[in-house]
Amino acid sequence: MILENKLGIKSEIELAKEEERISKLKAKRLFQSGFFDTLNFGSFESLRVIHKELFYDIYGFAGKTRDVNISKGNFRFAPTTYLNDAIKNIEKMPQSSFDEIVEKYIEMNIAHPFREGNGRSMRIWLDLIFKNEIKKVVDWNSIERDDYLLAMERSPVKDTEIKQLLKNALSDEINNADVFMKGIDASYFYEGYTLYKTEELGE
């Protein structure tokens, strides 16, 4: 099924290509401008704004809480009936330690508030919380795709695997553009987007 998009693209392959190019370029420019650092890290509003900024030129639902139920494999994300309440509860969760931050991230992943682009937006959101609370970011480039996806799939039941993966990948390079852009590429790779290198876009 081809998602309705502002580009008028009817091909799933072409849409994926343009989505990757446009949203990666947006992520790069937002980082370079310092925009991410202006957000109220850890709030749903900050995640909503990240999603909107990344995908506004592509989808009409950018930054809007989904109104359809979605699933991945055998896992069903929070039903729309309870989504707003789930988001409010997640916002109240503490985020002052590594464990608390990851637990909040897992709950937001279960909520999966948007129609598309949740993982890519949430990994930026997670890094902003880490950066501001514990002065670290995740070097996503150092985490294997299959390890990450499997750990996230298991995280609602057992969060030790994802915590270990993330802890082992923490970096002090919180303002390093190279770490950020390679991290964006890795984050997109988790979702199957591999055509463009973030650092080369817009040059």
> Are 51 and 62 within 8 A, CB to CB?
yes
Q: In the predicted model, what is the mean pLDDT of residues 62-69?
A: 97
Q: What percent of the chain has pLDDT over 90?
A: 96
150 has a pLDDT exceeding 80 = yes
Q: pTM score, two decimals? A: 0.96
Cβ burial 176-186 (10 Å sphere, 16+ → b, else e): eeebbbbbbbb
DSSP labels, 153-188: HHTTT--HHHHHHHHHTEES-TT-HHHHHHHHHHHH
Looking up tokens 């999966």 gives 112
**pLDDT tens column, 95-138:** 999 999 999 999 999 999 999 999 999 999 999 999 999 999 99
18 has a pLDDT exceeding 70 = yes
Give the confidence band of 146 by pLDDT, cuts at 50, 70, 90: very high
203 has a pLDDT exceeding 70 = no
Give the confidence band of 1 by pLDDT, cuts at 50, 70, 90: confident
- Out of 1.10.3290.10, 1.10.10.60, 3.40.50.510, 3.40.190.150, the CATH code matching 12-194 is 1.10.3290.10
Q: Look at residue 74 in the predicted model and tell me its pLDDT.
A: 81
Short-list 46, 1, 41, 6, CA closest to 23? 6
Domain segments of the chain as ranges: 12-194
